[in-house]
Amino acid sequence: MEIYRFIVLGHVQGVFYRKFVSQAMMKKQFQGYVRNLHNGTVEVVAEVFDEDFDTVLQILHEGSPASSVDEVRYEILENADFTTDGFEIRY
């Protein structure tokens, strides 16, 4: 298991993208959070097992019906101070 930080670019703020992602990730029982960033992108931090990586990418690319995802960038967080209970929306 790794902790990933995803940055989602596109039309992803003000279109229920965070709610869609949080509900889809909770349904699949992922741990993490989603939040808007000041530059118009969305950040997702999640604990992901190798076999679930493609599922996470699929959720992030799908997004809400009103959203339009152009790109999803990601990195592994080596020394993450990561605590959450489930999957949440952060503000």
Active site residues: 18, 36
Q: How far is 45 from 75, CA to CA, in rounded Å?
A: 10
How many beta carbons lie within 10 A of that of residue 59, not counting itself?
Answer: 21
Cross-strand pairs, 12: none
Helices (H), 1-91: 17-27, 53-62
